[in-house]
Amino acid sequence: MSRTKVAVIGSGNIGTDLMIKVLRTSEHLEMAAMVGIDPESDGLARARRLGVPSTHEGVDGLIALPGFAEIGIVFDATSAKAHRHNAARLGPFGKVLVDLTPAAIGPYVVPAVNLDRHLDNDNLNMVTCGGQATIPIVAAIGGVAPVAYAEIVASIASKSAGPGTRANIDEFTETTSAAIVEVGGARRGKAIIILNPAEPPLIMRDTVFALVHAPEPDAPDRIRDAVAAMAESVAEYVPGYRLKQEVQVTAVPGDQPLDTLVEAGEPRPTHQVSVFLEVEGAAHYLPAYAGNLDIMTSAALRVGERVALRRDDRRDDPRDDPRDDRRGPARQPQEATP
């Protein structure tokens, strides 16, 4: 089976780590181009040393590369604003875009939850690092009991937050909150990110807090089992992903005020669920404490490989008409909060 050629736009930490993952671990993808705007960036320097075609002229340089027509998938690891521009420039060329920014032009994709539903889209959004870590857990809880409210807190090492991450803080909270509802299935969602300046840097930690309506006596045990199973599913493509301690499911006290968290008219939640996670990076390019970057590149790699397999299946199946457009409408880009 031939490999699908891919390009990575963004020669910073995330893009470079993704390039290394494709080169070292992918069975279905082939690095065809590394794209940046800083000719002195380490990502472009590494690409040149590794024999990967590269350009420092951004998306226009990518389009001008001799092998551009053979590229099937483009990973964008720039910023939300840059991705909107890149998507517009690449639109006429029929590439599949895997968006590692919070731009949210295409549908939110979390591999362990909803990847199969979006394999035919031409723009797939990877939400955020916090979203990739926590939305699977919200979805697992929701598979057992309705989630009235879900709140996630992502704590990452300050050293692992580069200029792109810091520029996207507003989009992080907006995009993650929206995806907690749209993908995780919660009625309401909230996201918080903390840049922890501790030295030595701490591994990424994530907390999921959920309010659920689960009056059945066996519901707490089923929630714990569902969360554990989901954690194993995510760990299949993010080996450093793990539960930090046992899932806590406790009854909501009758006098605990919930009116600011639960929508009016909704049944009062019976239990609160607390899940504590840790994400250690694979250290392909970045330190192990940068689990926030590793989970994004690992999830994006999983998406790219599945998209490549889907493209092969469609080429091999004569009944699959390539003119059949099942992509659906794209989400309108989100703007950053002032």
- Supply the pLDDT for residue 327: 40
**Exposure letters 126-154 (e unless 16+ CB within 10 A, then b):** bbbbbbbbbbbbbbbbbbbbbbbbbbbbb
269 with 311, same domain: the answer is: no
- Supply the pLDDT for residue 337: 30
- Residue that has been written with the tokens 């990739």 in this structure: 132
- pTM value is 0.91
Host domain of residue 234: 129-279
- Supply the pLDDT for residue 336: 33
86 with 141, same domain: the answer is: no
What total number of domains does the chain contain? 2
Helices of type H across the chain:
13-25, 42-49, 58-64, 80-90, 111-114, 129-142, 163-167, 169-182, 219-235, 291-316
- Supply the pLDDT for residue 317: 64
Coil, strand or helix at 149: strand
Q: Is residue 284 part of a domain?
A: no
- Supply the pLDDT for residue 168: 77
User: Which tokens hold the place of 152?
Assistant: 């996630």
pLDDT along the chain (338 residues), means of 10: 93 96 97 97 98 98 98 95 97 97 93 97 96 98 98 96 81 93 98 96 98 97 98 98 98 93 91 98 96 97 97 67 43 38
DSSP label of 115: G
- Supply the pLDDT for residue 181: 98
51 with 106, same domain: the answer is: yes
166 with 121, same domain: the answer is: no
Q: Which of 9, 129, 223, 286 is catalytic?
A: 129
Cβ 90 vs Cβ 58: under 8 Å: no
Among the three residues 279, 306, 324, which one is the final residue of a domain in this structure?
Answer: 279
Q: What CATH number did the domain enclosing 269 receive?
A: 3.30.360.10
Q: Is residue 328 part of a domain?
A: no
242 with 301, same domain: the answer is: no
Alpha-carbon distance 76 to 14, whole Å?
10
- Supply the pLDDT for residue 147: 98
DSSP 156-175: EEGGG--HHHHHTHHHHHHH
141 with 229, same domain: the answer is: yes
Q: Is residue 338 part of a domain?
A: no
- Supply the pLDDT for residue 209: 98
Is 146 annotated in the active site? Answer: no
